[in-house]
Structure 1
Amino acid sequence: MTDQPPVHEPTTRRQQFLGRLSLPERTFITDALRTETVGGMLLLTAAVVALIWANVWPHSYESVLDYRIGPSAPLHLDLTLATWAKDGLLTIFFFVAGIELKREFVAGELRTPSAALLPVVAAVCGVAMPAVLFALVNSGSGGHPGGWAIPTATDIAFALGVLAVVGSHLPSALRAFLLTLAVVDDLIAILIIAIFYSSGIKFWALGLAFAGLVLFWFLHRRGVKGWYLFVPLAVVVWALMHESGVHATVAGVAMGLMLRCHREGDEKHSPGEHIEHLVRPLSAGLAVPVFALFSAGVTISVPALREVFTQATPLGIVTGLLVGKTVGIFGGTWLAARFTRAELNPRLKWADLFAVSVLAGIGFTVSLLISELAFPHDLALADRSKTAVLVGSLLCATIATVLLKLRTRHYRTLCEEEDQDADGGVGGSVDGDGVPDVRQQDEPARRLPREGFGGDG
C-alpha cells in the first residue's frame, strides 16, 4: 500500500479591513479630504469668531442674526439671516452630502455588501448609542428627551480641521473609513431631520417640490446641460420644500442623489463627480463656515459651563458625543469584524480605530442645526445645547489628539510608504512615474477582483 500525500483542508482567506486603498480611490479620497480640511480650518475660525462676537458684542451679534431679508410672498421667504444660513446655505452642504452618498453606493466603499458592512454598522451604532445615552440621562423629570438626536452626528470637516491644526498624520485607510463613516452618518441625520423635525406639512407645496425633483431628474438623465437651467430649478424646488414644512435641506440631498455618479463611455469624470468638484469648495469654504458663524455664538460663562455638567439636556449631549460615539463606533466595528471574521490590517492596531472613534465624536454642524430644530420655542435651552455641543466636541478633539499623537511616528512612516515614488534606485521604483512604489509592488494583486473591507490591502 503506497503512502498517500497528506490531505490539507482548504483554508478560508480572512477578509481584511482598513487595508490599502486602490490608487484611484485613494486619489479621490485625498482630493475630497484636502478640500474638507481647508473647510475645517475655516469652520474652526468661524466658530471662534462667533464665540468672541457673541460674548464681547452680544447685542450686535443678535441684531445681525435677526435681520430679515427676502420676499414675503407667496412663499414666505422673508427670513432672518440666521434662518437663511440654516435652511439656505446648509442646503448646499447637504447637496454635496447627497452626491457623496450616491457615489459611495455606486462607485465607492459602499458599493459591495462586504465593503459596506463595517462602516455602516459603525455609523448605525455611532448614532444609536449617543441617542440611548441621552435618553437615559434625560429620563428623569427634569430632562428633555426631544433632543435625543443632537449628539448623533459626526462633523467630518471639523474633525479634519482638528487634524490639520495639530498636524496629526493619518494613513489613507483610516481617513477613508472616517469619511465613509461620516457619509453614512449624514444619511441617517438626513432621515432623522426629515422624519422627526418636519411639521405642519403642506401637501400642495410638497407635491410641487416632488414634481420639480422629477423634472430635475428627467433633464439630467436626458443629458441636458447648463447651470442657468438647473440652478433656477433647484432654487424653486428648495423654496417649495421650505414652504411644505419638510426641512428645506432635504431638497439638497434629493437633488444630490439624483445625479449620475458612474462613468459612461470615455468619460474621465461622471456628472456627479464633476459637479461635486465644483460645489464642494462652496460648501466647505462658504456655506458651512457662515452657518457656524451664525449658530455657534453662545454665551460662555462659568454658570453656563457649570450647567453643561449639571443639567440633564447638556450633560446628555456631552455624554452622547464623548462616550456614546466612541463606544458605538468602536464597539460596533469590533463586533462586526469579530462575527464576520474580518482581519485588521496588520500595520494598524485596534487602538488606532479607537482614536478615530473618539475623533468621530466631534459633532458640530448638524448637531448645532438639530439643537435649533429640537427646541424652537426654548431659545435658552437651545443655547445650552449648543454650548454642550461645543464642549463635547472640544473634549473629543482633545482626547483624540492625544491618542493620535502617540502614534504619529508610525502614521508618518505609513504615509511615506504610501506616497513614495523613488527616482534613482532608492527604495524601489526607478522610474518616478507618479505611481507609488508600493502600488507597483501590488500590481499583480490589483488585477484580482476586489474583495475585503478596505480595498486591496
Structure 2
Amino acid sequence: MTLPQDKQRTSLFGTPSARERRVLTDALRTETVGGMVLLAAAVLALLWANTPLSASYETVRDYHFGISALGLDLSVEHWASDGILTIFFFIAGIELKRELVVGELRRPAAAALPVVAALCGMAVPALFYVAVNGAGGGAMDGWAVPMATDIAFALGVLAVIGTNLPSGIRAFLLTLAIADDLGAILVIAVFFTSTLNWLAFGGALAGLLLFWALHHRFRVRGWYVYVPLGLVIWALMYNSGVHATIAGVAMGMLLRVTLRTGPEGEAGAGESVSPGERIEHLVRPLSAGFAVPVFALFAAGVSVSGEALGETFRQPEALGVIVGLFAGKFVGVFGGTYLAARFTRARLNPSLSWSDVAGVALLAGIGFTVSLLVTELAFTDAETTEHVKAAVLIGSLLSAVCACVLLKLRDAKYRRMWEDEIRDEDLDGIADIDQPEDLVRRPTEVKRRAREAARLRIESEHRAKADGD
C-alpha cells in the first residue's frame, strides 16, 4: 500500500537527480586531482620542514611583503591563509548557495539528515576536545579545530577507493561537507573576529552590495570588473578584523545559481548554465589545484621527529584534537545520522548498510585545510600551534586510513553485487538473477555445456569447409 505524501519516509542516501549527479561528477573529478595535489603539497611541506633545509622553509614562510599603507604587509604564510585561501571559500560559498537554492538542502526533508549529521559532527568533536582538555588542564581555545571536514581530501579518497559505491553516498558526503563548511565559516566569523573596524567593515558591505547590484540588476559579466572589486572587498574585510576568507564566501553566495526565465516564461531560455555554475566550473580547478595546495605547503610544515610526536600525544590540546577528529567526528556523524533515521521519517536505503554510513563518518574526520586554518586563529603560542598542527595531520591520517579499509571492503561487496546482477552462467542471454532459481545451472555443468557447444561449432565449421572443397 502506498503511503500518503505526508507519511512517506525520506530515503537516506537516495539516488540524486540527474543535474545533481552531473555537478557531483564534475566536483569529484576536480577534487580527486586536487586531493592528490594537496597530499603532495603536504608531504613536500613535511619534508622541507624536517630536513637540513628547514631553515629555508621558515625563511620563505615568514618573509613579509605587501602594501604597508593599506595594512597588507603580510608574511607568505598569512598571504596563503588569509589571501589565496579565499578562492577556496569563494567556491564553498557558491556550493552553499547552490545547495540551498536548487540542491538537496532546499528540501527540508532531504536536508534534515546531512544537516543533523553535520551539526552533530561539529558539536561532538568540540565536546571531546573540551573533555580531554578539561581533564588534562589544557587550553580551551582550540575547541573549534576538530569541527571541520576537508572536502578535497574526503572526496578525493572516496573517488579513488570507492569506484563501485552508490552515487548517493558521494552526494551525502558532499552535502555533509558543505553543511560542515557553513558551520566552520560561522564559527570563524563569530568567534575568531578581532576588534571590529566599523569603517572598513561598512566599506566591505558596501562593496558586496555593489557586487550584488552589478551581477543581478545590471547583469555585468566582465571578469575585469569583478576581480578588482573582489580584491577591494577582500582588503576591506581583512582590515575590518573579520577573517578575510569570509569575503570569498559572501561573494560566492551572491552569485545567481538559477537559470534566468526566458521571454516566454520558460526557465533557462537562452541560458544553458547559471552564472554561479559557470564560474564555479572555471574557478574550482584554481582552488583545488593551486589555492589549497599552496596553503597546505606553508601550513603543514611541522616537526615530526620522535620527540616532537611524543610531546604531541602528551599535550592535552593536541591530544584533544586527535581524539576529536578521529573519534568525535565518527561518533557525531554516525550517531547523528542514526538518531535522525531512528526518530524521524527518514530511512536507510534498503540497498545500503550502516557500514556505508560508518565509512562516510570516518571520512568526515579528515579535517585538514580548515582545521589548520582554525589552529592558526585559535593559538598564538608557536610551540602549541606546531603541536596542534601535527595533531591535525595525525587525526586526519588515522581517519583516512580507517575509512579506506572499511570503504574498500564495502566497495568490493558492491562490485560482487554488480557482477551477480549481470552474471549469465547458462549462456542464454538472460541474467541469472532474472530467472527462477531452478533454471540456474551449476558452474561445472555450465562449463561442460560451454565446451560441448564450442566442440559442436568447430565440427560444424570443419564439415562446411569440407563440403565446400
TM-score using structure 2 length: 0.85
Q: Percent identity?
A: 62
Q: 1:427 to 1:370 in 2, by over 3 A?
A: farther
Say if 1:44 and 1:161, in contact at 8 Å, map to a contact too: no
How far the C-alpha of 1:273 sits from its partner, in A, is 0.6
Q: Deviation per CA, 1:255-277, whole angstroms, max 9, x where unpaired?
A: 01111111123221111111111
Say if 2:145 and 2:372, in contact at 8 Å, map to a contact too: yes
Pick one of 315, 321, 346 that aligns with 1:311: 315
Say if 1:19 and 1:345, in contact at 8 Å, map to a contact too: yes
Q: CA RMSD in A?
A: 2.1
How far the C-alpha of 1:417 sits from its partner, in A, is 11
How far the C-alpha of 1:224 sits from its partner, in A, is 1.2
Q: Please state if 1:370 is matched with 2:368.
A: no
- Secondary structure in 2 aligned to 1:138? helix
Q: Deviation per CA, 1:33-92, whole angstroms, max 9, x where unpaired?
A: 11111111100010000000000121010000011121111x211111110000001100
How far the C-alpha of 1:397 sits from its partner, in A, is 0.6
Higher helix proportion, which one? 2
Query: C-alpha separation between the residues in 2 aligned to 1:110 and 1:271?
Result: 20
Pick one of 143, 147, 159 that aligns with 2:142: 147
Q: Please state if 1:299 is matched with 2:303.
A: yes
Say if 1:67 and 1:80, in contact at 8 Å, map to a contact too: yes
Pick one of 52, 59, 64 that aligns with 2:55: 59
TM-score using structure 1 length: 0.87
Query: C-alpha separation between the residues in 1 aligned to 2:406 and 2:19?
Result: 30
Query: Where in structure 2 are there 5+ consecutive unaligned residues?
Result: 262-268, 422-427, 432-469
Q: 1:299 to 1:209 in 2, by over 3 A?
A: same
Query: Where in structure 1 are there 5+ consecutive unaligned residues?
Result: 1-7, 419-424, 429-457
Query: C-alpha separation between the residues in 2 aligned to 1:354 and 1:427?
Result: 36
- Secondary structure in 1 aligned to 2:295? helix
Alignment-mate amino acid for residue 390 of structure 1? L
Q: 1:135 matched to which residue of 2?
A: 130
Pick one of 353, 357, 362 that aligns with 1:353: 357
Query: C-alpha separation between the residues in 2 aligned to 1:157 and 1:427?
Result: 42
Between structure 1 and structure 2, the one with the greater Rg is 2
Q: After the TM superposition, which residues 304-453 of structure 1 pair with which residues of structure 2 at under 5 Å, given as runs? A: 304-375=308-379, 377-412=380-415
Alignment-mate amino acid for residue 236 of structure 1? V
Pick one of 238, 245, 256 that aligns with 1:242: 238
Q: 2:280 matched to which residue of 1?
A: 276
Query: C-alpha separation between the residues in 1 aligned to 2:369 and 2:2?
Result: 53
How far the C-alpha of 1:25 sits from its partner, in A, is 1.4
Q: Deviation per CA, 1:427-455, whole angstroms, max 9, x where unpaired?
A: 89xxxxxxxxxxxxxxxxxxxxxxxxxxx
Q: 1:251 matched to which residue of 2?
A: 247
Say if 1:138 and 1:316, in contact at 8 Å, map to a contact too: yes
Query: C-alpha separation between the residues in 2 aligned to 1:33 and 1:9?
Result: 36
**Relative contact order (alpha carbons < 8 A, sep ≥ 6): 1 or 2 greater?**
1
Q: 2:114 matched to which residue of 1?
A: 119
Query: C-alpha separation between the residues in 2 aligned to 1:9 and 1:385?
Result: 53
Q: Deviation per CA, 1:396-439, whole angstroms, max 9, x where unpaired?
A: 01111111111122334678999xxxxxx9889xxxxxxxxxxx
Say if 1:35 and 1:280, in contact at 8 Å, map to a contact too: yes
Q: 1:137 to 1:55 in 2, by over 3 A?
A: same
Alignment-mate amino acid for residue 72 of structure 2? L
Query: C-alpha separation between the residues in 2 aligned to 1:80 and 1:338?
Result: 50
Say if 1:168 and 1:405, in contact at 8 Å, map to a contact too: no
Query: C-alpha separation between the residues in 1 aligned to 2:213 and 2:300?
Result: 39
- Secondary structure in 1 aligned to 2:106? coil
Say if 1:172 and 1:415, in contact at 8 Å, map to a contact too: no
- Secondary structure in 2 aligned to 1:78? strand
